[in-house]
Amino acid sequence: MKLMEKVRLRVSINERYLSVSRLVSGLNIATVCEGALCPNILECWGGGIATFMIMGDVCTRGCRFCYVRKGKPKPLDPLEPLRVAEAVRVLGLDYVTITSVDRDDLPDGGAGHFAETIRAVKTVNPGVKVEVLIPDFQGDLEALKTVVEAGPDVLAHNIETVRRLTPKVRDWRAGYDQSLKVLSYAKKFNPKLVTKSSILLGFGESLEEVVEAMRDLRGAGVDILVLSQYLRPSPRHYPLVKMYTLAEYSELEKTAYSLGFSYVVAHPLARTSYKAREAYYSALKAVGYEPPQGNS
């Protein structure tokens, strides 16, 4: 196995980090930053950026790479959309990312709750940009349409891995083609919607398979691609097969741009919401839109 080059992060626990920490704790809001052991938590929270995780912190699925708790979730909290909106207001955010666990126990997979949260955030915070990282809703297109019609600025859904490894890595209710369908139809429901997806590397995929997955994502109209390193959370999770070098990430980034992606984040520690605002405005610039001053 290749060893990854050392990646150094210069971080500090500043007052902004402590402010975000106190806020999410005080409002009883879960964040994927904590729930998924994100390696960028100090950098993002220190900059006043957080990815809110709605609908609880217990997932109904058992993907073999994911650290989020699995089991039977609690009922939805009807006040959660307003709490998230209030958190965005208090933090003074102009760009917010919202994700969730999978909620296969709900008839619509939680799509209605997503939509309520988007609308609440935008009502309380006029002008804020909202990115959502959604589950596949088991391929339910009406559920997907409910989220799209709520008006997110970016819709992300992760394909996670290449076609061959999908059944081994992801939960049996997920699917490679099902994820492509979600991304493709999101664009059909709103052609102006910016879409995003992520591929974790290190499960044993070949370079050819990664390029094939990137081509499939572009075929589904995906604008923004994130490539990152799988880091095994525990011995119970899927084995780590390969650590990619920074040079390999650089080559994959070049390939992705050559396939037509508007923005590519390729780094071992990148995650879907990493540099989310920068990626969004860069994607808009690619189609000729200049962002307002101060938001680039």
- β-strand partners of 160: 199
What is the per-residue pLDDT for 295? 41
Residue at 4 is within a domain: no
- Structure tokens, 112: 């209605």
Three-state DSSP class for 138? helix
Structural domain that includes position 128:
15-286
CA–CA dist 146, 20 (Å, integer): 30
Residue at 56 is within a domain: yes
Residue at 255 is within a domain: yes
CA–CA dist 182, 180 (Å, integer): 5
pLDDT for residue 37 is more than 80: no
- 227-246 tens-digit pLDDT: 999 999 899 999 999 999 99
CA–CA dist 5, 28 (Å, integer): 38
CA–CA dist 183, 206 (Å, integer): 23
Contact indicator for 117, 78 with CB cutoff of 8 Å:
no
Residue at 3 is within a domain: no
Share of the chain above pLDDT 90, in %: 67
What is the per-residue pLDDT for 118? 98
- Which residue bears the tokens 């083609």? 177
Residue at 151 is within a domain: yes
Residue at 10 is within a domain: no
| Overall number of domains in the chain | 1
What integer best gives the mean pLDDT of the chain?
A: 85
CA–CA dist 257, 40 (Å, integer): 24
- 178-200 tens-digit pLDDT: 999 999 999 999 999 999 999 99
What is the per-residue pLDDT for 26? 59
- 269-294 tens-digit pLDDT: 887 777 777 888 888 887 666 555 54
- Provide the CATH number for the domain around residue 196: 3.20.20.70
Contact indicator for 160, 166 with CB cutoff of 8 Å:
yes
**Position 271, amino acid:** R
pLDDT for residue 21 is more than 50: yes
Containing H/E element for 156? strand 154-156
Lowest mean pLDDT among 33-37, 83-87, 170-174: 33-37
pTM: 0.84
- Structure tokens, 116: 């309520």
CA–CA dist 35, 69 (Å, integer): 8
Task: Concatenate the DSSP letters of all residues of 278-290 into one string.
Answer: HHHHHHHHHTTPP
Residue at 6 is within a domain: no
**Residue 12 vs residue 18, higher pLDDT:** 18
- 103-162 tens-digit pLDDT: 999 999 999 999 999 999 999 999 999 999 999 999 999 999 999 999 999 999 999 999
By C-alpha distance, which of 181, 180, 97 is closest to 133?
97
What is the per-residue pLDDT for 287? 63
pLDDT for residue 36 is more than 70: no
Residue at 136 is within a domain: yes
Contact indicator for 108, 100 with CB cutoff of 8 Å:
no
